[in-house]
Chain A
Amino acid sequence: QKEVEQDPGPLSVPEGAIVSLNCTYSNSAFQYFMWYRQYSRKGPELLMYTYSSGNKEDGRFTAQVDKSSKYISLFIRDSQPSDSATYLCAMSGLMRRDTDKLIFGTGTRLQVFP
């Protein structure tokens, strides 16, 4: 079993839809949770960054962490064709931040059609 599981998609939605992207994880030591967005032929770029449990909102994006269920989500409101990309969740522990490494999900490919 992988430490981080993510549905690969593709997820295809119409413009304006609310999108929900999810990851589950098995390591209860994870404390930092991130979402990266990767456009085709580009490297990933950081989208959202959350520490421990709770919600964080940034414009049309909301990141949610439920540590009791080991489940994280990224919601995109009013989705746009420009949101079409692969979304990767990533997480790491807290014990040794200077040597901890990020563990990534495999990514969910999102397509938003006009």
Chain B
Amino acid sequence: KAGVTQTPRYLIKTRGQQVTLSCSPISGHRSVSWYQQTPGQGLQFLFEYFSETQRNKGNFPGRFSGRQFSNSRSEMNVSTLELGDSALYLCASSWTSGSGGELFFGEGSRLTVL
């Protein structure tokens, strides 16, 4: 069974640009959550999508957005990039929404903003 796949794995952008990250969940999983991981703050919750609907949102500015497609694949977008957006962005899928099911994480997309 294939795991959670995130693309791209690494990317470098400059301030002011925008970026789109993609996540393919485990087959059959309908929930996709996104986390930002930095050394100082650890894993911080961005948002969760379940059956194409945003179920929960963390405390991030509106520059961070996401969506989920009918096949459960998800994308997140960050506009007007800032230096502080440099981080590992992790996607996790689960068979159910919220905290009810185990989260399966991808290997992440490492974003560097120059």
Contact = CB atoms under 8 A, between A and B. Distances in A.
Interface stretch (B13-21, B61-69, B99-107): B99-107
Given A43-B107, A44-B105, A45-B105, A97 B100 contact: yes
Interface string B84-111: 0000001010001111101111111000
B43 A101 contact: no
A41 B105 CA distance: 12
B4 interface: yes
Nearest to A106: B42
A101 B35 CA distance: 11
The main secondary structure of chain A at its interface with chain B is: loop
Contact of A101 (B42, B58, B96): B58
Interface in A23-53: 32, 41-46, 49
B105 A101 contact: no
Given A98-B97, A99-B56, A107 B105 contact: no
B106 A43 contact: yes
A88 B90 contact: no
Contacts, number: 65
Interface string B32-69: 01010000111111001000000110100000000000
B107 A97 contact: no
B110 to A, nearest CB: 9
A17 interface: no
A42 B98 CA distance: 23
8 smallest CB-CB distances across A and B, nearest first, come from A43-B105, A106-B42, A92-B99, A104-B43, A100-B99, A98-B98, A97-B100, A100-B98
Interface of B: 4, 33, 35, 40-45, 48, 55-56, 58, 90, 92, 96-100, 102-108
Interface of A: 6, 32, 41-46, 49, 88, 90, 92-93, 96-107
22 contacts: A41-B107, A43-B4, A43-B92, A43-B108, A46-B103, A49-B102, A92-B98, A92-B99, A93-B99, A97-B100, A98-B97, A98-B98, A99-B55, A99-B56, A100-B56, A100-B98, A101-B33, A101-B48, A101-B58, A101-B98, A104-B35, A105-B42
